[in-house]
Every structure is written in C-alpha cells, then in structure tokens.
Structure 1
Amino acid sequence: MRHEAGRRFVHGEKTALIAKDFRVSERSVERWRRAWREGGMDALASTGPPKLPKLSDGQFDELEEGLALGPAGHGWEDQRWTLARIRALIAWKFQIDCSTVAVWRPLHRHGWSGQCPARRAVERDEGAVSWKKDVWPQAE
C-alpha cells in the first residue's frame, strides 16, 4: 500500500485523494509522503508491527492447556473465565503483567470469543446472586 502511495506521490496526487482510496487518515498519508521525500521508496517499507505480543506461541499453547482445566482447576469457585482471571493466570504462570487488552487480543486472534448466556436461567435465585467485580491491580 505504501509503495503504491509512493508511485502516486511521483505523479503529484493529492493527500486527501490517496487517503480516501486507501481508507486511511490523511495524517498517515502525510507521514508516508514525508518519509518518501526524505528517503525515497525504500523509506516506505514496513517496519513490522508496532508492538510484539506479550506471549510467545509456545506460551499461548501452555496458557490454553491451563484454560482447559477451567477456573476451578486454578482455585476459583465457579466456572467463569474472565479477562481478569486469565490475566492473573498469565501473571502466575509466566510472570508477565499485562493489560486486559493485551489478554483479549491474542485470545481473539486464536479463535476465542466472549460468551454471554442468551437468557437467564429459570431456576436462578435472585436473592442468592451477589455481584462482585474481579479485582486485579492495573499495570498502567
């Protein structure tokens, strides 16, 4: 995409038109144009992802094995995996502190999804339900 933008820079096309065609911000195209002016087409090469994943593929495989044991297998009373619990499991197993977003992204990338019940259970006892938020210190 950037190299195609570079070819269009040579022809003097406007930033707004290139941004619209590539569905990116004008600011990105301006950044590409500046790099192109300073270093030519070579400067438009990708430098890779902005941030590498916290867990390696091997660590993620190990995490999935831990998730297969269920929350009760790790000491929680019920069978709900929450992002906070998975984050705590990652911290315990790999000594890696990460945000809930850093937990969600690799899960989503590997095909995991959030599940919510379609309806409430008929036998649910509202009086017995206690709402408690999983608490984990933020690492920001």
Structure 2
Amino acid sequence: MGPDAVSFKPSPVVPHLTRPQLAEARRVRAAELFDQGRSGAEITRMLGVSDESVRQWKRVWEKDGADALRRRPATGRPPKLDDAQVERVRTALEQGAQGHYFEADLWPLERVDLVVERVIGVTLRGRRTHMPGSCFSTSQASRCCPRSAAPTRPAATRLSCGTG
C-alpha cells in the first residue's frame, strides 16, 4: 500500500464493519476522490479495488451523484423473526435435538420449524432454499443456526421456509 492508500482492515478502535458497510464505505470514498479530481488509476490503487469497479462507480456518480453509491434499504418481505427471537431460537437449538425430545440428535428443517413454533410461536412454512447450516432463510442463517444444528442432507435439499 502506498502513502495515499486507505486501509479498510478492522481496527481495535473502529467498530467492525459488515461486508455491505465496507463496500459502501469504499464507494463513498471513491465519490470523494472523484470530487477531488483523482484519476481512476489512483482510486483503484488507493482503495484496492478493480478498475472496472471504479469505472462503474464513476458512471453512477456522474449520472446520479454520490448518494447513488450508497446502499439501498432491503426490499422484499421483512424477516419473520427479530434479533431477540433469533437469539432465543439459537439458544434452543444449542440444547441439541435430543434436548427437545427428538430421538436422534439431528436437525432436519422440519424439526427446526417445530422448535421455532414451540419457542417463539411463529410458524415457518413455504418455500425453502438451502444454505449449509441454515434454518429459516439465508439472511438469518448466520445469526441463528449453530454449526451443530446444520440440517441433515435430505432435509437440506428440500425448499426452505421463512422470509425468503
């Protein structure tokens, strides 16, 4: 990294950014650098991104301004479970399937659905999409399912319930 390079690595002082937040920070910084008249090559080097990304961001910036480079709110159906509910389900799943009176200590998606209904009172039904280690939706998978609660292979190939 040269003297002009911007570091986007986690810092003990700065709170950890999620990947979408990090990507937005890069785009916003690129807009600032466009305003300063920096070249595409300089911005590529400073932000550690591809030439194509910088060219794409510049087209958006020229057409719609810096705000167009910011993240847009998520669209679609809102999640069925809030963060507190996801945490309650995670805690329940960490007890293991046998802790919920299932014979084998496996987590096919149907069992996860039952535990969610028992613990939260929310019925998760409908289309299923598979993500290894997921239980309801891809957006909630990383927040909820412990690795030991990963669905078994037959259930994982079925369609997913939840918010997706």
Larger Rg belongs to: 1
Unaligned residue ranges in structure 1 (runs of 5+) = 116-132
1:41 to 62, 66, 74: 66
Quick check: 96-105 or 55-64, which moved more? 96-105
Unaligned residue ranges in structure 2 (runs of 5+) = 1-24, 118-122
CA distance in 2: counterparts of 1:54 and 1:20, whole angstroms:
42
Q: Determine the structure 2 residue equivalent to 1:121.
A: none
CA shift digits 1:80-129 (9 cap, x unpaired): 55xxx3x434434331534224728745446x7647xxxxxxxxxxxxxx
Cα shift at 1:34: 1.4
Cα shift at 1:49: 5.9
Q: CA RMSD in A?
A: 3.7
- 1:134 maps to 2:163: no
Whether the 8 Å CA contact 1:54–1:102 is kept in 2: the answer is no
Answer 1 or 2: higher relative contact order, Cα 8 Å, separation at least 6: 2
State the percentage of identical aligned residues: 24
Q: What is the letter of the counterpart of residue 153 of structure 2?
A: D
CA shift digits 1:10-36 (9 cap, x unpaired): 31411x442343233433323321110
- 1:3 maps to 2:32: no
CA distance in 1: counterparts of 2:43 and 2:75, whole angstroms:
23
